[in-house]
Amino acid sequence: MARKRILLIGHYNPTKKRRVYPNLQWLTLPSGKRIKACAQCIRGAKKKPTRQRADAAKK
């Protein structure tokens, strides 16, 4: 997960009491397997060149 969440810490180091959860979404991989991935990871994976895209760009 890309973001650092705020930890809930004790009396001597007061921080915000709100916990941030990752935005998990169902994602279907090209192999047909379904996994949960955070929304930022999904967006980052779209920008990252994959093998299939790299091979298509070479042709």
The string of pLDDT tens digits covering residues 8-25 is 656 676 667 778 899 999
Radius of gyration from C-alpha coordinates of the chain: 18
Q: Looking at residue 22, what is its pLDDT?
A: 92
Pair of tokens at residue 9: 């810490």
State the residue range of the domain holding 54: 24-58
What does the pLDDT average to over 28-45?
Answer: 91
Average pLDDT value for the chain: 77
**Is residue 1 situated within a structural domain?**
no
The reply to whether 34 falls in a domain is: yes
Q: Scanning the structure block, which residue is given the tokens 């705020």? A: 6
Give this prediction's pTM: 0.47
Residue 7 within a domain = no
Task: Answer whether residue 3 is part of any domain.
Answer: no
Q: Is the pLDDT of residue 49 over 80?
A: no
- Tell me if 29 is assigned to some domain: yes
Residues facing 26 on adjacent strands: 36
What percent of the chain stands above pLDDT 70?
Answer: 59
| Dist CA 22 CA 2 (whole Å) | 9
The count of domains in the chain is 1
